[in-house]
Amino acid sequence: FCAAVTLPNIVHAFQTAESLRARGEPDWLQLTGLIHDLGKMIFLRGCDEDGTSQAEQWSIVGDTWLVGCRMPEELVFPEFNALSPDAAHPERTTETGIYAPGCGLDAAFCAFGHDEYLYEVLRQNDGVKLPEEALYVIRYHSLYPWHDACCYAAIESDRDRAMKPLVRRFNEHDLYTKRDTPFSEAELAEMRTYYGALMDKYLPPVLAW
């Protein structure tokens, strides 16, 4: 069960990170939990036309999926799948679509969202020391048809299959820690100190967005 919350997204970020910390996950995964939704900051430069504005948001939040192949029925609101331009293209309605079997998710195109934006920010900035597993989790944590419903088996690679348990483990802490309860000032102070040290360890002082 994932509670609907009214608190700022930073509270969810801390909730995710603290859940990973309490489970004894590696510090880099704890930091991943803290920053995993920061790609939503794209709205600061967004526009209505491409769905990255605060008013529209359709290209920022929500589950992602692979474009260029059949849209799975496991998507949220699959009744709208037929509205996709891919639905009228014969090649893009097959299981593998435009992709070679087993090519891997990194060789496919995901519907754009906050995941991909943050992944690209981290990938393109010098001085980011997070392991590749962290960037993988950030990039695909919203690809629910893949890691939750086991779609795209014909496209995923051995690397994707090996990474899937990590993404699922991460999402247990992302989805199921949302609570409409604020942290105390003392808790926030302790977390700022703790996670500030992790940021110094894994991230450069300034990121180009």
pLDDT in tens, 149-195: 999 999 999 999 999 999 999 999 997 677 778 899 999 999 999 99
Buried b (16+ CB within 10 A) or exposed e, 121-146: bbeeeeeeebeebbbbbbbbbbbbbb
Q: What's the whole-number mean pLDDT along residues 96-100?
A: 98
Residue 1 is predicted with a pLDDT of 34
Specify the length of the chain in residues: 209
pLDDT, residue 179, reads 76
Mean pLDDT of 86-99: 95
- Structure confidence by residue, pLDDT tens digits, 30-73: 999 999 999 999 999 999 999 999 999 999 998 999 999 999 99
Task: Report the DSSP pairing between strands 109-110 and 66-67.
Answer: antiparallel
For residues 137 and 74, give the distance between their C-alpha atoms in angstroms, rounded to a whole number. 21
Query: Could you tell me the pLDDT band of residue 106, with boundaries at 50, 70 and 90?
Result: very high
Confirm whether pTM is higher than 0.85.
yes
Mean confidence (pLDDT) of the chain: 94
**Cα–Cα distance, 161 to 7 (Å, whole number):** 35
Indicate whether 3 pLDDT > 60: no
Section 84-99 average pLDDT: 94
Q: 2: alpha, beta or left, given left = phi > 0 and alpha = psi -120 to 50? A: beta
pLDDT of 178: 72
Q: Is residue 142 within 8 Å of residue 63, measured between CB atoms?
A: yes
Q: Where does 141-184 have alpha helices with state H?
A: 144-147, 158-175
Percentage of the chain modeled with pLDDT above 90: 89
pLDDT of 99 > 90? The answer is yes
The pLDDT of 98-122, averaged and rounded, is 97
- Would you state the pLDDT for residue 202? 98
